[in-house]
Amino acid sequence: MEALPDWGDGTRAVRAGLPEPRKYEPTLPGPVFAAHFHLPGEPTGPYTYGRDENPTWTLLERAVGELEAPGDDAVETVVFASGMAAISAVLFSQLKAGDAVVLPADGYQALPLVRAQLEAYGIEVRTAPTGGDAQLAVLDGARLLWLETPSNPGLDVCDIRRMVAAARGAGALVAVDNTLATPLGQRPLALGADFSVASDTKGMTGHGDILLGHVACRDPGLAAGVRHWRKIVGAIPGPMEAWLAHRSLATLQLRIDRQCGNALALARALSVRDDVTGLRYPGLPDDPSHETASGQMRRFGSVVSFILDGREHAERFLDALRLVDDATSFGGVRSTAERRGRWGGDAVPPGFIRFSVGAEDPDDLVADVLRALDAAGERH
Ligand SMILES: *Cc1c(COP(=O)(O)O)cnc(C)c1O
């Protein structure tokens, strides 16, 4: 079905990637479990061997592409077994020995592991923080600029259009890790990026039950490189996960709107607390990221971060929550929170909390958080 560019986000989400209706066929065909397909004669596609292509991926890739770039038939999407598989596919398919890449210094915590591998392959890795468009200063001569905005977990933001313009001038490609925003919050391809990359483990699928990732891009040559990488590495999603993801996309707009609304309500409630410092949410009008975020984001995401007074205080708070699970990851319909410093990878203080806001009733959620803060603040 042709996706019309003027559809609203909710309409697009419920229809994304559906095949033309056929009598006696389901709306969204079920997962196709196949290692190989009947293939007499010349071995030409679309479906030959299960590591190369699968009809369930095809529908999901179409759906994600319609959300990433509504009305743009040229966009190509490649789905992966996880967000890291998608990230690695772009980095390792586009970079070779002697190239330089600019990564965020404050991005996803597995990026330092990727850095070590890139360097082992003879690729020069430069880093700079996301805030203040600081990566511009180390762009000269780079082949690829990697952005993560808002950054995870610090929630700093950079100006994607400005970074793209500078990268064009320097002859560099631009990739944006769009995990936190989802395509309903931000459309990197429309802002000029070459690649929009995401972990769909988070808000895109939103139930905390599958790992998945994708890469979307408009240039057929770049897309072919990413697709080739998936084929040789074999970082492919299972058909069941791909189908579950497609099913989950139908509620994307409902979930994201509810979660973003809840995140703003929570941030507002936290902003007047004396026991909370370093509060960050790009949707708060006085957040340092707000102005830049407003110029490129349509929704501000479901993650709020803040600092409590040390490790014990943070742990008492997490223990006292009833509606919020102490767990990592974010973007799910059930709120989770964690003391981010327990992983050791991020440059955050011991009392730093990353809070992933779910789809609970806002009054219940805010009340639970305020009650837990009160309990955690009592003398022990
Ligand atoms: C979770 C996450 C990833 C990694 O995704 P996986 O699906 O866990 O492999 C990458 N980038 C960001 C911003 C993330 O939050």
Question: What's residue 5's pLDDT?
Answer: 63
Distance CA 321, CA 14 (A): 33
Say if strands 325-326 and 277-280 run parallel, antiparallel, or are unpaired: unpaired
Please give the share of the chain, as a percent, with pLDDT higher than 90: 96
Report the nearest-CA residue for atom 2 of ligand 1: 199
Quick one: 159 and 173 in the same domain? yes
- What secondary structure does DSSP assign to 332-366, as a single string? -SS-EEEEGGGGS-S---TTEEEEE--SS-HHHHH
| Distance from the alpha carbon of residue 20 to the mean position of ligand 1, in angstroms | 33
Please choose, from the candidates 60, 155, 56, 138, the residue with its C-alpha nearest in 3D space to the C-alpha of residue 103: 138
Quick one: 101 and 73 in the same domain? yes
| Distance from the alpha carbon of residue 108 to the mean position of ligand 1, in angstroms | 7
Mutate to test the pocket of ligand 1, among 80, 108, 182, 336 (most ligand atoms within 8 A of CB): 108
| Distance from the alpha carbon of residue 69 to the mean position of ligand 1, in angstroms | 21
The verdict on residue 374 lying in a domain is: yes
Q: Do 339 and 318 meet the contact criterion of CB atoms below 8 Å apart?
A: yes
Other beta carbons less than 10 A from residue 44's beta carbon: 7
Quick one: 155 and 179 in the same domain? yes
Q: Can you give the CATH number for the domain in which 259 is found?
A: 3.90.1150.10
Quick one: 190 and 337 in the same domain? no
Say if strands 100-104 and 144-148 run parallel, antiparallel, or are unpaired: parallel
The verdict on residue 2 lying in a domain is: no
Question: What's residue 340's pLDDT?
Answer: 94
Cis check for the bond before 46: say yes or no (omega within 30 of 0): yes
Q: What is the tens place of the pLDDT at every residue in 118-172?
A: 999 999 999 999 999 999 999 999 999 999 999 999 999 999 999 999 999 999 9
| Distance from the alpha carbon of residue 73 to the mean position of ligand 1, in angstroms | 27
Whether residue 299 is predicted with pLDDT greater than 80 in this model: the reply is yes
Point out the domain boundary residue: 191, 222, 249. Answer: 249
Quick one: 127 and 257 in the same domain? no
Q: Which atom of ligand 1 is nearest to the CA of 200?
A: 7
The verdict on residue 1 lying in a domain is: no
Instruction: Note the residue count of the chain.
Output: 380
Quick one: 201 and 259 in the same domain? no
Quick one: 204 and 118 in the same domain? yes
Q: How confident is the model at residue 54 (pLDDT cuts 50, 70, 90)?
A: very high
Whether residue 348 is predicted with pLDDT greater than 80 in this model: the reply is yes
What is the average per-residue pLDDT within 273-289? 97
Q: Into how many domains does the chain fold?
A: 2
Quick one: 196 and 266 in the same domain? no
The verdict on residue 262 lying in a domain is: yes
| Distance from the alpha carbon of residue 199 to the mean position of ligand 1, in angstroms | 5
Q: Diameter of the chain by CA atoms?
A: 77
Question: What's residue 345's pLDDT?
Answer: 74
Point out the domain boundary residue: 249, 276, 298. Answer: 249
Quick one: 224 and 296 in the same domain? no
Point out the domain boundary residue: 227, 249, 271. Answer: 249
Tell me the pLDDT of the chain averaged across its residues: 96
Question: What's residue 265's pLDDT?
Answer: 98
The verdict on residue 4 lying in a domain is: no
Whether residue 380 is predicted with pLDDT greater than 80 in this model: the reply is no
| Distance from the alpha carbon of residue 280 to the mean position of ligand 1, in angstroms | 20
Query: What is the DSSP code (8-state) at residue 36?
Result: B
Distance CA 111, CA 87 (A): 9
| Strands annotated E in 204-362 | 213-217, 277-280, 303-307, 325-326, 336-339, 352-356
Lowest mean pLDDT among 3-12, 64-73, 370-379: 3-12
Question: What's residue 347's pLDDT?
Answer: 83
What is the average per-residue pLDDT within 271-284? 98
Whether residue 379 is predicted with pLDDT greater than 80 in this model: the reply is no
Question: What's residue 3's pLDDT?
Answer: 55
The verdict on residue 230 lying in a domain is: yes
Report the nearest-CA residue for atom 12 of ligand 1: 108
Quick one: 104 and 218 in the same domain? yes
Quick one: 109 and 175 in the same domain? yes
Whether residue 4 is predicted with pLDDT greater than 80 in this model: the reply is no
What is the domain range of residue 119? 9-249
Residues near ligand 1 with C-beta < 6 Å?
82-84, 87, 108, 148, 152, 177, 179-180, 199, 201-202, 211, 213
The verdict on residue 3 lying in a domain is: no
The verdict on residue 324 lying in a domain is: yes
Q: Which helix (H) or strand (E) holds 66?
A: helix 55-68
Q: Can you give the CATH number for the domain in which 130 is found?
A: 3.40.640.10
Quick one: 265 and 296 in the same domain? yes
Q: How confident is the model at residue 346 (pLDDT cuts 50, 70, 90)?
A: confident
